[in-house]
Structure 1
C-alpha cells in the first residue's frame, strides 16, 4: 500500500480528519483520537501504524513485517506497525485500519459519537 492509497482509505472512513505532524507523518484521527499513522519508516518504505484489539495484537506482533509499534508499545499500548514484507495484504491492512477506527471511536463520549454520526452499532 502506498501513502496515497493509505490516505484515500482512511479518508473514506466516517468522521475522520488528517494532519501531517511528527516529522511528516500522515496522522488520521476520529473525534480527535488517533487511529492510524502513515510514516516513521526507517528504510524509505511505507510504514503504517494502527491500534489493535488485545487478540489482534497478540496474533500480529511477531509476524514478519509487523511489530509492536515503536513509542506506543513501550507505553503499554496495543498498536502494531506494518513496516515490511510480507506483512499484511492491502485488504488485510484496510480491515485492521477500519477496526482501529472503530476502537478509537469507542473511546469517544456517547455525545461526541452522536455528533459525528458514529452512534450506530459500534460494539
Structure 2
C-alpha cells in the first residue's frame, strides 16, 4: 500500500483527522485518538501500524511481514506493524485499518461517539 492509498483509505473512514508528526509519519485519529500510523522513512517499504484485539495481536505477530509495532507494543498495547510486502494483502490491511478505527472509536465516550456521528441512537 502506498502513501496515497493509505491516506485516501483512512480519510474515507468516519470522523477521522490527519496530522504529520513523529519524523514525517502520517498519523490518523478518530476523536483525537490514534488508530493508524504510517512511517515513510528511508526504508524501502512503509511501516503501517494499527490497533488490534489481543487475540489478533497474538496471531499476527507471528506472520511474515508483521511484527509488534515499535514503541506501542512495547508499552503493552495491542498494536501490529505491517512492514514488509510479504505481510497482509492490501484488502486485508484495509480491513485491519477499518477494524482499528472501530476499536479506537468504541473506546470513546458515548457522548463523543454521538457528536462524531459514530453512534446512532
Report the TM range for the smaller structure's normalisation. over 0.9
Paired position in structure 1 for 2:91: 91
The gaps in structure 1 that reach 5 residues or longer are: none
* Divergent runs of 4+, >3 A: none
Pairing 1:60–2:60 present? yes
The answer for the alignment partner of 1:24 in structure 2 is 24
Give the unaligned 5+ runs of structure 2: none
> Which residues in structure 2 correspond to 1:42-121 (within 5 Å)?
43-120=43-120
* Maintained 8 Å contact 1:64/1:85: no
Q: Report the TM-score, using the length of structure 2 for normalisation.
A: 0.95
Q: Distance in 1 between matches of 2:55 and 2:46?
A: 25
The number of aligned residues is 121
2:15 aligns with 15
TM-score when normalising by structure 1: 0.94
Two-structure CA RMSD over aligned residues (Å): 1.4
